[in-house]
């Protein structure tokens, strides 16, 4: 049986989560807790205050994010902080995306460029949107592209490539149709109006092709492995759509339960890491 105090606490929590301004206030209160401040300070040092401010800015400018479980925003932010990736959408490194009442961490294509560069193993990394006329022929066996002159502004495909310091080189080309089939199959948030797939399709397409290329052929640092494990759009092992563009799509799966991550260690912790009592205390400033 739920006690009167527990019911009041639950009602307050629900009221906070349903009111956008209160949601931002709750997140701000969470960030002001000494333990949370200390954890972000250990991960980011002097950059911690600026990072926290950017998270609050992102949430305050996104009405859908304002209504998600703020514990999942804190969790997604902690993942970005552990990878030292800014989450301002304009920077293209990482996003915090709302989906069915929770916040998810996603890496942008520039994040997938930056993380391999840190390893010191790559001589070059490149990814581009391919427009009408720019690719006359693609030989998947020799990985050779026959280039042409751009004839229009419509994107027809996406090309990713890298070269290692030891001379190994890889080139991957996917048609736009192949990217769409991949996104529908593996991205739970693809059809969401708040998804970067809807607001910045080319950037997400470049990220998808580059991530696939690095995952299958590039050397993976511990940091890269962690990034791909936490990326909401990279949990499933995709099919090689550069070879088979006729793969049938399947219905999107329901989102998995929200995970709360320890902002100090990056480990998944129990759902009671932020209890209703913690939230009440943070909101009321007790």
Q: What DSSP assignment string belongs to the chain?
A: ---HHHHHHHHHHHHHHHSHHHHHHHHHHHHTSHHHHHHHHHHHGGGHHHHHHHHHHHHHT-TTGGGS-HHHHHHHHHHHHHTT----GGG-SEEEEEETTEEEEEE-HHHHHHHHHHHT-EEEEEEEEEETTSEEEEETTTTEEEE-----S-EEEEEEEEEETTS-EEEEEEEHHHHHHHHHHH-TTTT-TTSHHHH-HHHHHHHHHHHHHHHHHS---HHHHHHHHH-TT-SS----TTT-TTPPP-PPPPPPPP-EE-TTT--EE-GGGS-HHHHHHHHHT-
What is residue 234's predicted lDDT score, i.e. its pLDDT?
59
What is residue 10's predicted lDDT score, i.e. its pLDDT?
57
What is residue 156's predicted lDDT score, i.e. its pLDDT?
93
Name residues whose C-beta falls within 8 Å of residue 282's C-beta, 6 or more positions apart in sequence. 26, 29, 30, 32, 33
Name residues whose C-beta falls within 8 Å of residue 56's C-beta, 6 or more positions apart in sequence. 24, 27, 28, 31
Name residues whose C-beta falls within 8 Å of residue 40's C-beta, 6 or more positions apart in sequence. 31, 48, 51, 52, 78, 81, 263
What is residue 127's predicted lDDT score, i.e. its pLDDT?
93
What is residue 24's predicted lDDT score, i.e. its pLDDT?
87
Q: Which of 161, 183, 165 lies closest to 238, judged by CA? A: 183
The residue ranges of every structural domain in the chain are 1-100+257-286, 108-254
What is residue 189's predicted lDDT score, i.e. its pLDDT?
74
Give this prediction's pTM: 0.67
CB 158 within 8 A of CB 209: yes
What is residue 236's predicted lDDT score, i.e. its pLDDT?
45
Neighbours of 49 (CB within 10 A): 13
Q: What is the pLDDT along the chain (286 residues), one digit of tens a residue?
A: 555 455 445 555 554 444 556 778 999 999 999 999 999 999 999 999 999 999 999 999 988 899 899 999 999 999 999 999 998 888 889 989 888 888 989 888 899 999 999 999 999 999 999 999 998 888 888 888 888 889 989 999 999 999 999 999 999 999 999 999 998 888 877 887 777 788 889 998 999 999 999 999 999 888 888 888 888 665 444 434 344 333 332 222 333 333 444 434 434 343 334 444 544 454 454 4
What is residue 14's predicted lDDT score, i.e. its pLDDT?
55
């Amino acid at each position: 049986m739920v006690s009167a105090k527990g019911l009041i606490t639950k009602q307050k929590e629900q009221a906070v989560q349903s009111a956008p301004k209160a949601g931002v206030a709750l997140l701000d209160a969470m960030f002001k807790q000494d333990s949370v401040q200390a954890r972000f300070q250990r991960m980011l040092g002097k950059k911690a205050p600026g990072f926290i401010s950017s998270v609050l800015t992102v949430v305050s400018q996104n009405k859908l994010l304002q209504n998600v479980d703020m514990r999942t925003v804190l969790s997604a932010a902690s993942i970005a902080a552990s990878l030292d990736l800014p989450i301002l959408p304009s920077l293209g490194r990482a996003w915090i995306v709302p989906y069915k009442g929770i916040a998810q961490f996603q890496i942008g294509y520039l994040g997938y460029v930056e993380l391999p560069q840190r390893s010191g193993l790559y001589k070059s990394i490149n990814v581009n949107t391919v427009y009408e006329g720019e690719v006359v022929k693609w030989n998947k066996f020799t990985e050779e592209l026959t280039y042409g002159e751009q004839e229009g502004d419509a994107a027809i495909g996406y090309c990713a490539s890298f070269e290692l310091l030891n001379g190994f080189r890889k080139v991957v080309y996917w048609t736009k149709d192949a990217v769409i089939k991949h996104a529908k199959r593996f991205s739970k948030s693809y059809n969401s109006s708040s998804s970067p797939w809807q607001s910045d399709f080319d950037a997400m397409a470049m990220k998808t092709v580059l991530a696939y290329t690095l995952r299958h052929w590039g050397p993976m640092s511990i940091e890269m492995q962690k990034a791909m494990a936490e990326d909401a759009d990279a949990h499933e092992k995709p099919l090689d759509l550069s070879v088979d563009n006729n793969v049938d799509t399947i219905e999107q799966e329901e989102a998995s339960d929200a995970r709360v991550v320890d902002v100090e260690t990056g480990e998944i912790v129990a759902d009671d890491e932020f209890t209703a009592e913690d939230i009440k205390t943070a909101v009321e400033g007790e």
